[in-house]
């Protein structure tokens, strides 16, 4: 008995990490335990890949505004991790660490050590956002960056990376594929 294959839905120190649209082609059938990284890494990595492939990333800072998770407290209480982690999730903006920037370096080795980041946990139940600020190798314009992201979202990353200029809010993305 037991499971023949395991997918860890969080970053792992030991298991190879794969993000669809970034490095899933490196998976081979003899790998029995894999990590699919984190939801934030799955958001950040495809975006970072497009920008790095087209313009080259020298360094970057990512900030995620992250919906409540099951690990957070419903009311103020003790936290083994940190003081802020023990505060009530439903009515606080809680600064937190994130391993997503480091995890991107594992799935995109050319970016290893180039990104750093932080997280704000906010009182929404679904949908998070990543803001990525980068210093680029190539001189470019905002419009060229938008065009590259739009092109990839309609091409090789369709269904993985989305692009819109519509006036939307977070709940508009619930169920988005």
Q: Which residues are catalytic?
A: 39
Structure tokens at 86: 């023990």
Contacts of 72 (CB under 8 A, 6+ apart): 85, 89, 94, 121
**CB 130 within 8 Å of CB 101:** no
Work out the number of other CB atoms within 10 angstroms of the CB of residue 125: 11
Contacts of 56 (CB under 8 A, 6+ apart): 136, 137, 138
Cα 24 from Cα 107, distance rounded (Å): 9
Buried b (16+ CB within 10 A) or exposed e, 60-71: bebbbbbbbeee
């Amino acid at each position: 008995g037991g499971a023949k294959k395991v997918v860890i839905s969080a970053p792992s120190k030991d298991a190879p990490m794969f993000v669809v649209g970034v490095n899933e082609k490196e998976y081979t059938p003899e790998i029995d335990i894999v990590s699919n990284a984190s939801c934030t890494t799955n958001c950040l990595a495809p975006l970072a890949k497009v920008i790095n492939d087209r313009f080259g990333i020298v360094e970057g800072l990512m900030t995620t505004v992250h919906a409540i998770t099951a690990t957070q407290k419903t009311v103020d209480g003790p936290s083994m991790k940190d003081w802020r982690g023990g505060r009530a999730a439903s009515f606080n903006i809680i600064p937190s660490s994130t391993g997503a920037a480091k995890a991107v370096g594992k799935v995109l080795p050319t970016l290893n050590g180039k990104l750093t980041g932080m997280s704000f946990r906010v009182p929404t139940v679904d949908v998070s956002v990543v803001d990525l600020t980068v210093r680029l190798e190539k001189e470019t314009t905002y419009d060229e960056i938008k065009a590259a992201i739009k092109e990839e979202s309609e091409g090789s990353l369709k269904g993985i990376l989305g692009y819109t200029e519509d006036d939307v809010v977070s709940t508009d993305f619930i169920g988005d594929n």
